[in-house]
Amino acid sequence: MDQSLPQATRIAVPAQRAWTVFGTPSSWNGLGDTGTRVTLIERHGDQARYRFDRDGESCECSFVRDGHSATLTTDGTESSATLRFAVADESEKCSLSWEPTGTLPEPIAALWRQAPSFAAEVERWSEQLDEVRDSGDPVDAAARLAPMLRERAGHSARAFTLDAGAVAGLRAAGLFRIGVPHELGGLGAHAHTIVAAIEELSRADAAAGWCTLIGNQSAYAAWLPEPSLRELVGPDGGFVLAGSTAISGKAERIGEETYRISGRWRFNSGCLHADWLMGGVTVPGPDGVPGPMLAFVPWRAGRILGTWNVAGLAGTGSHDLVLDEVEVPAARLAPLFSGPSSFTDPLHRLSPYNIQAVLMAGLPLGIARRALDELTVMTAAGHTGLSLADTAVDRARLDIELAAGRSLVMSTVDDHWSVLDGGGRLGEAAGSRLALVLRRTVDSAKRIVERAVELAGPAALEESGAALQRCLRDVYGAGQHLAVSDDVYERNAHRFTGAQA
For the segment 93-119, what is each residue's pLDDT rounded down to a tens digit? 999 999 999 999 999 999 999 999 999
Dihedral-angle region of residue 433 (phi above 0 means left; psi in -120 to 50 means alpha; beta otherwise): alpha
The C-alpha atoms of residue 355 and residue 209 are separated, in whole angstroms, by: 16
56 lies in some domain: yes
Domain count, the chain: 2
Question: What SS3 string covers 172-205?
Answer: HCCCCCCCCCHHHCCCCCCHHHHHHHHHHHHHHC
Mean pLDDT of 208-230: 89
Give the number of C-alpha atoms closer than 13 A to the C-alpha of residue 437, restricted to the C-beta side: 28
Out of 128, 162, 193, a domain closes at 128
pLDDT value for 457: 96
Query: Is the Cβ–Cβ distance between 221 and 336 less than 8 Å?
Result: no
Task: Please answer whether residues 38 and 28 qualify as being in contact, where contact means their C-beta atoms are separated by less than 8 angstroms.
Answer: yes
Structure confidence by residue, pLDDT tens digits, 282-320: 999 888 889 999 999 999 999 999 999 999 999 999 999
Cα–Cα distance, 136 to 451 (Å, whole number): 37
List residues bridging with 37 in a β-sheet: 53
8 A C-beta contact, residue 205 and residue 324: no
Residue ending a domain, among 113, 128, 143, is 128
> 153, 160 in Cβ contact below 8 A?
no
Residue 271 lies inside a defined structural domain of this protein: no
Domain of residue 81: give its range. Answer: 7-128
pTM of the entire structure?
0.95
Across the chain, mean pLDDT equals 94
For residue 36, what is the domain's CATH number?
Answer: 3.30.530.20
User: For the chain, what is the largest distance between any 2 Cα atoms, rounded to a whole number of angstroms?
Assistant: 77
At position 483, the amino acid (one-letter code) is: A
**In terms of Cα–Cα distance, which of 361, 364, 256, 269 is closest to 314?**
269
Question: Residue 287 falls within a domain, yes or no?
Answer: no
Query: How many whole angstroms separate alpha carbon 130 and alpha carbon 145?
Result: 10
Q: Which one-letter DSSP state was computed for residue 240?
A: -
Decide if 73 is inside a domain: yes
In a domain, 121, yes or no: yes
Tens digit of each residue's pLDDT (9 = 90 or more) over 139-180: 999 999 999 999 999 999 999 999 999 999 999 999 999 988
CB distance 224 to 296 below 8 Å: yes
Angle subtended at Cα 294 by Cα 290 and Cα 297, rounded to the nearest 5 degrees: 125
Is the separation of the CB atoms in 263 and 248 below 8 Å?
Answer: yes
Rg of the chain on CA atoms, in Å:
24
Residue 474 lies in a domain: yes
pLDDT digits (tens, 9 = 90+) for 123-146: 999 999 999 988 889 999 999 999
Q: Do the Cβ atoms of 314 and 357 come closer than 8 Å?
A: no
